[in-house]
Amino acid sequence: MNKKLFFGLAVVFVLAFGFVAYKFLRTYHDNTVLIEGEIDAKVYNVSSKIPGRIAKIFVNKGDAVNKGDLVFSIISPEIEAKYEQALAAKDAANAKKEEAYNGAREEQVKAAYNQWQKAKAAAELMEKTYTRIEKLYTQGVISEQKKDEVYTKYKAAKSDEASAKELYMMAKKGARKELKKAATSQAKVYEAKVKEVESFLKETKAYAYNSGEVTEVLINEGELAPSGFPVVVLTDMKDSWARFAIREDFLKYFKTGKVIKVYIPALEKSFDFKVSYISKMGEYATFKATDTKKGYELKSFEVHLKPVKEIKDLRVGMSALVRLDV
């Protein structure tokens, strides 16, 4: 064999062997670690404050909803009946208040005056009668008992006159300030009850208190909705993050505020994410053997990374990959 050919083959063999050895060493001594997480986002439950039957749902799964949009409405006959009762009680209390402040009607004042004059005339008559009876008693014509009976009637007539006069003065002056205050307070109580029921009536319409996408409709039209039960679920992808379980010996690579490249396989692209949260407590342990005879446990900590810029087409549950050079 030609020496040059032999030398050439030897060089090719050495190069090939070196390349294979390099690939082998690189494979088994690679210092990069691939950490897998997933995308999560803020979720809002649109619930009903009051129980009732779902009248109409104004959104469907996949709809984009803005803050303040009407999401669903509820029928509650019980609340409507309480509202009618509260209005009636409020009207009655206001009528009592007006009566206390306006005083008696002119007809009532006139009737009280007439009753006073009638009692006054009766008292004057009894006074004259008693004067005559007293003279007859002095002359010995009638007994003392008869005189006492007339005197009692005279005193009763004077008392009736005084009472009739007081009733007339009360009707003329109107209610006392204590009665007016009580009537005012009563009117305020029922006005507050009306406002309370009106606040419940407003709750028969549920509005989105945050923007997002409808991901779940848990109760359909015509079904009963318990108080506080989520009827519609909204997911806000503008408030999203990548969630990872980071082993404690890798936490040094994740500092709050640090920007890290995160690869999203579904989007076939890497994006800048910033470390926003590191759990203060370890969640679970990962056993890592140092040799065949002993090992130790490493806790994992939940770490959140928020995208630096909004990522189009990002969805909850997508895989997120971080490659660390350790």
In tens, the pLDDT along 180-216 reads 677 777 778 878 888 888 888 888 899 998 999 999 9
Per the model's pLDDT, the better-predicted residue between 26 and 193 turns out to be 193
Per the model's pLDDT, the better-predicted residue between 11 and 145 turns out to be 145
Per the model's pLDDT, the better-predicted residue between 16 and 132 turns out to be 132
Please give the domain boundaries of the chain with CATH numbers for all domains: 30-71+216-325 (2.40.30.170)
Alpha-carbon distance 228 to 65, whole Å? 20
Contact predicate 256/275, CB 8 Å = yes
Confidence of residue 291 (pLDDT cuts 50, 70, 90): very low
Reduce the DSSP state of residue 20 to 3 states and report it.
helix
Closest CA relative to residue 304, chosen from 279, 267, 322, 269: 279
Reduce the DSSP state of residue 299 to 3 states and report it.
strand
Reduce the DSSP state of residue 70 to 3 states and report it.
strand
Whole-number Cα distances in Å, 91 to 86, 190, 193, 323: 9, 9, 12, 73
Confidence of residue 176 (pLDDT cuts 50, 70, 90): low
Q: Render pLDDT for 226-249 as a digit per residue (tens, 0 to 9).
A: 888 899 999 999 999 999 999 888
| Burial (CB count within 10 angstroms: exposed 0-12, middle 13-18, buried 19+), residue 150 | buried
Alpha-carbon distance 180 to 83, whole Å? 26
Mean pLDDT of 98-126: 75
- pTM score of the predicted model: 0.57
Closest CA relative to residue 62, chosen from 229, 232, 220: 232
pLDDT value for 292: 47
Torsion of CA 104, 108, 114, 117, to 10 degrees: -20
Alpha-carbon distance 1 to 75, whole Å? 100
The residues, ordered by sequence, that sit 6+ positions from 135 with a Cβ below 8 Å of its Cβ are: none
Closest CA relative to residue 132, chosen from 153, 112, 147, 111: 147
Alpha-carbon distance 197 to 84, whole Å? 9
**Poorest-pLDDT segment among 64-68, 198-202, 261-265:** 198-202
Structure tokens at 117: 């004059």
- The distance from CA 312 to its chain's CA centroid, rounded to whole angstroms, is 33
Alpha-carbon distance 79 to 93, whole Å? 21
**Helix runs in the chain, H state only:** 3-28, 77-102, 106-138, 144-173, 177-202
Residue 280 has a CB neighbour count (10 Å cut-off) of 7
Closest CA relative to residue 232, chosen from 207, 200, 201: 207
- Whether residue 108 is predicted with pLDDT greater than 90 in this model: the reply is no
